[in-house]
Amino acid sequence: MESQLRTPVAEPRPAPTALRFGDTPRNRTLRRISRGCALASGVLALGALAGFAFEVHSLASLSENSATMKPTTALGALALCYAVYALASPSRRGGQIWLSRVALAFALLLSVATLAERAFGWDLGIDELLLRDPWPLPGSAPGRPAAATTLGLAMLATALLLAGRGLAYTGAQALAIAAGSIGGLALIGYVFGAAALYAFQSYSQVSPTTALTLVLLAIGTLAAMPERGLAGLAAADSVGGVLTRRLVPVAFGVPLVLAVIAQLATQRGLVRSELAMALFFVTSTATLSAVILHTANSIHRLDAIRSRSEALLRESAGRVRHLSAIVNATGAAIISFDALGRVATWNTEAERVFGRRAADAIGRHANDVLALDADQTLPRALDQVLRQPAVQRIELRFETPRGDAVAGMLTLSPLLDGERRTLGACAVFDETRNTAAVARTVRDA
């Protein structure tokens, strides 16, 4: 009986919905973030191309005294922007998929060719093929991007090519993080004046525009597929998802903001460097500790709720077992139906009386398992009880599939919830005990 109270196996499966395929509000938000990062990096790349076309240094670089995003870098970035935007689109068509693959192949080929130029000292003529470079770095070929920049673009192109290929997504995620780290380190170097983080050699520098573009493209790549990887963890409704959403932004943002404030205060002479470092340590530690404790308290409350829910579930399971024992011990055949007229439970006595196992009855309509006469008296009465809740009593005489003659009184009662809505119906059959008389009645009929 306990197993009979579960959802019937034969119940029709629900039609696929958007929610089943990961189209949750958080996933949609992550896809919007991905498309926003792609558009922002595309604007930076187009600005760099416009800067070279009109020789406006401020368009090609975010700083007047820093390196510029080279035209080949801008072209590769634009190709990656389209691929990220297409990957994060809600509905990808065949044309978009093929065009994004062509764009990724172009970006990867351009990056490999530029890396080969630096590695073997070649000049393939691609550095100034599109636009002339009016601001070359001393000792570097005009229009040739830094090796770190080209490597970052190549890793992003490879990551996007692997993003939709099953187990290869782990490698794609690692490549995207590595490319974003190149841009992130360069940005930190510009913020804090640490040239070693963006200028690996005097003639090979990652421009601030390029660094920001790499970071945006890496974020867009990771967020484009929110059902998997780090994005999937951030969008999950689990404890891990809550920790990721609360702690990761704080862990990255708070130290950065406090470090910038400490540096500005030191540069303007408001505090000494020793005091600025001490204040940075104390403030960042206190902030992170407060966030961690608040998160731990929330998880503790959730765990308490889960423990109470498990206790209630165990108690409910005990009541179900107790109810199952009572129903099975009853001398009457007891059957319950859902609101659609399908068998929900079928006790042991019902198996004996109707000559059908519970496994063969649960989930099927009354027309299939209880059509005991040509007029289908019982299915019609059940349909009436479900439509107009009222108790009905029917006198039944029938012969089981095994050939046994059975007669008795069947009582059909509606099952109502607290708001008097019909949840289903219950059928209780009291069999006539005089089996000889029953047999004669069935033969005479």
Of 307, 322, 445, residue with least CA distance to 2: 322
For residues 22, 26, 27, 30, the Cα torsion angle rounded to the nearest 10 degrees is -170
Output the pLDDT for position 113: 95
Output the pLDDT for position 387: 85
- Separation of alpha carbons 224 and 240, rounded Å: 20
Could you give phi then psi for residue 128, rounded to 5 degrees?
-120, 30
Q: Could you tell me the end-to-end alpha-carbon distance of the chain, in angstroms, rounded to an integer?
A: 34
User: Considering the entire predicted model, what is its pTM?
Assistant: 0.69
Output the pLDDT for position 38: 97
Task: Please answer whether residues 206 and 67 qualify as being in contact, where contact means their C-beta atoms are separated by less than 8 angstroms.
Answer: yes
Sign of CA dihedral 117, 123, 127, 129: negative
Of 351, 358, 321, 320, residue with least CA distance to 333: 351
- Separation of alpha carbons 217 and 228, rounded Å: 17
Could you give phi then psi for residue 434, rounded to 5 degrees?
-80, 85
Task: Please answer whether residues 273 and 266 qualify as being in contact, where contact means their C-beta atoms are separated by less than 8 angstroms.
Answer: yes
**Local confidence pLDDT in tens for the 445 residues of the chain:** 333 333 333 444 444 333 334 578 899 999 999 999 999 999 999 999 999 999 999 999 988 888 999 999 999 999 999 999 999 987 777 788 899 999 999 999 999 999 999 889 899 999 998 899 999 888 788 999 999 999 999 999 999 999 867 667 889 999 999 999 999 999 999 999 888 888 876 567 999 999 999 999 999 999 998 888 888 898 888 888 888 988 999 999 999 999 999 999 998 899 898 999 999 999 999 999 999 999 889 888 888 888 888 888 888 888 878 777 777 777 788 888 888 888 988 888 888 888 788 888 888 887 777 767 666 777 788 888 888 888 888 887 877 767 778 888 888 889 888 788 888 898 898 887 544 444 444 444 4
- Separation of alpha carbons 98 and 83, rounded Å: 10
